[in-house]
Structure 1
Amino acid sequence: MSIKISAILAPVALTGCMSANVNMYPIEGPYAQIVPRPVVKAVAQGVEGNSGPIKATLPDGQTCIGTWSSVAPRTGYVSTGALFTQYGAVFGSTVTQGILPGVNKGQAFMTCSRGTSVDAEFFTGSGTANGYGIAKDSTGNVYKMLF
């Protein structure tokens, strides 16, 4: 009897544990000048849902923690002042307005151990943890995000 209960409860215990690795590549700012260029490794947890915690370590050793959130697909657009509007050309992406079927838009914000903050915008495919985005930190670094 206890074996059957364990088998039933195992998937429940794993709920909320799925994570996605996020690579953040500096494309502008002080970190983009470092050779070889560093890659910031972040981990977004709870990717089976619509929000969760995110953690990263910057090249200078600062640890950053925060929250990411994504909305279900609907009519999408990028507004003036958005990171994609400001840095889309640097990132290699054009900005268009219109319906984005099957695409979820999300945002993340992290605060770091020495006062730096990181603001991010991203898109993921519906039902996946795969996507891309742009992040900017408070020290002038801009990152291409891939996950």
Structure 2
Amino acid sequence: MAAPDFTPDQLEDFKEAFGLFDRVGDNMVAFNQVAAIMRALGQNPQNKEVNEILGNPSADDLANKRLKFDDFLPMLVKVNQMPKGTLDDYVEGLRVFDKEGNGTVMGAELRIVLGTLGEKMTEVEIDGLLQGQEDENGSINYEAFVKHILSV
């Protein structure tokens, strides 16, 4: 299946990455690996979006159903076409936590937000994300932080 959004080199890379998640050797992956594969390929879908694309499978289906690359590719195309947040969207979202209006948020507060709201992150993920971002007062310049995240 050819996807108009992707070059032949990209398709080859996608197929190779897909194959890395094939734990059984049958050229298929489990439903519960689809989100991880998409993220490994540079996408950032929410788990809710992936579940919708998969047809809202049960927990049992997530763990046991498998799909082929030819079935995965249209899902990747769909995720790739979803609207992405912009720098301004993310900065505006963090501005809510800027109590002093000085372009910074407290690192401790951001840690709580990242660990409790939306798609919750683990402490290890949060530590990795915020490493080197806090100044000596524990504050984070959120515009620089968002630029850093979007560049990774």
Higher RCO (C-alpha under 8 Å, 6+ residues apart): 1
Same fold (TM over 0.5): no
Choose 1 or 2 for highest CA Rg: 2
**Structure with greater strand share of residues:** 1
